Amino acid sequence: MISYNFYNPTKLVFGENTIEKIGELLSNVGSKKVLMIAGSGSIKKNNVYDITINSLRKNGIEWRECWGVRANPSLAKVREAIAIAKKEKVDAVLAVGGGSVIDTTKIVAAGVYADDIWQVFERKEKIKKALPIFTILTLSATASEMNCSAVISNDEENKKWGTGSPLLYPVASIIQPDVQNTLPWNQTVNGALDAMAHIMEYYFIGTNEETSIAVNEALLKTIIKSVEGLKVDAKDTISRANLAWAITLGLNGISGAGLKGGDWACHDMSHSISCMYPQIAHGGALGVIFPAWMKYVCDSNPQQFKRFAKNVLLTDDIESGIYELKQLLKSWNAATSLRELGVKEEDLRKLAEMTVSRGNIGKLSVLRLADVEKILEFAF
């Protein structure tokens, strides 16, 4: 195991009736006026919005609102929210939604102080300061509620890139699992696939890091078991709570401890796909890409791929492990090919070029343009 530092300052408030605590959490850091950022309006249908603003009002906190964050969040919405935050002179930002809303909110927090926030993604400017960030999670998928990363799409330049900074850790995040009971099935599945991919990005690069590898196997099996439970009963609160916590643990630092920073090639490919096709969910794309990547690179660390097949999918070898993974996705009504997702074959070359636009990708096996194109062909 290599040396590593573990750091995560986010306070996590988890359980029943926890959303009503948001006003107190903000008040504890002296906040008086907050910008609330949200998506298309589902939080007004499940009572999350009313509980949130009542808590803010009860604690004497003013708020302004910015709505309309989409899946695969856009730079344009980030800039809109930054302008509101500056005009209203807010002292904190509050995300109420899923990973796209939280990522947007993080970048707004930093963008208030940046000369040009996109230059941070271009690696030409650094995040030096950010407003305090708070989140209320309504869709478990990205673990953005407890990490310091964010991904944004620049539609004008056809780029979907990520950035990170210790300043982007939320001060506090609330997870009240039962508010996710009304999610459409495909959103639950896409969230689970996103989380599984986070864990697998670390897992397959492992060798002797037994503690982290064993933790990751437990998380993967918990996600699978929980989704199976929710397939039977979408309001199974035990399965929902276990799924939510496992997803958060999938990318809050614990799953990657000692695992060399992870591989992340599949995420790079998926980002290109959802950049070109914003209607494709990131998790859905990852579910298609990962089996194709496994087939292409498994000889780089065969013992770990065999271990995955045996310990997670209860089968005997790499090939059957990949097959069982795809069968699992089919049983969840998830796509198993890019064709099913609506990707056009003639776009594969462009997608590969977008993926390696900043250089080769991957760590377990370094992938160049031709490698990426081949994996996309496997996935098609």
Contacts of 135 by beta carbon, 8 Å cutoff, 6+ apart: 94, 95, 96, 102, 105, 144, 145, 170, 172, 173, 174
Boundary residue ending a domain (178, 207, 240): 178
Mean pLDDT of the chain: 97
246 shares a domain with 129: no
CATH of the domain at 302: 1.20.1090.10
Helices and strands (H, E) in the chain, number of each type: 15, 8
The predicted pLDDT at position 214 comes to: 98
Residues 219 and 246: beta-carbon distance below 8 Å? yes
The predicted pLDDT at position 1 comes to: 52
Residue 128 lies in a domain: yes
Taking only the tens place, the pLDDT of each residue in 53-68 is: 999 999 999 999 999 9
Residue 70 DSSP class: P
Angstrom distance (rounded) from CA 109 to CA 61: 18
Angstrom distance (rounded) from CA 303 to CA 318: 9
3-state SS class at 86: helix
188 shares a domain with 174: no
Strand partners, 137: 97, 175
Query: How far apart, in Å, are the Cα atoms of 105 and each of 79, 112, 126, 140?
Result: 11, 11, 17, 16
265 shares a domain with 123: no
Residue 4 lies in a domain: no
Residues 196 and 258: beta-carbon distance below 8 Å? no
Boundary residue ending a domain (178, 202, 219): 178
Residue 35 lies in a domain: yes
Name the residue range of residue 143's domain.
11-178
Query: What pLDDT band is residue 257 in, cutting at 50, 70 and 90?
Result: very high
236 shares a domain with 163: no
158 shares a domain with 247: no
Residue 207 lies in a domain: yes
Residue 302 lies in a domain: yes
Boundary residue ending a domain (152, 178, 204): 178
Provide, rounded to the nearest whole percent, the portion of the chain with pLDDT above 70.
100
The predicted pLDDT at position 3 comes to: 82
212 shares a domain with 161: no
The pLDDT of residue 255 is above 90: yes
Strand partners, 74: 153
Taking only the tens place, the pLDDT of each residue in 269-306 is: 999 999 999 999 999 999 999 999 999 999 999 999 99
148 shares a domain with 241: no
The pLDDT of residue 156 is above 90: yes
346 shares a domain with 204: yes
Provide, rounded to the nearest whole percent, the portion of the chain with pLDDT above 90.
98
Domain count, the chain: 2
Contacts of 193 by beta carbon, 8 Å cutoff, 6+ apart: 283, 284, 286, 287, 329, 334
The predicted pLDDT at position 2 comes to: 73
Query: How far apart, in Å, are the Cα atoms of 280 and each of 35, 69, 202, 246, 286?
Result: 28, 15, 24, 24, 10
198 shares a domain with 74: no
345 shares a domain with 201: yes
Residues 251 and 142: beta-carbon distance below 8 Å? yes
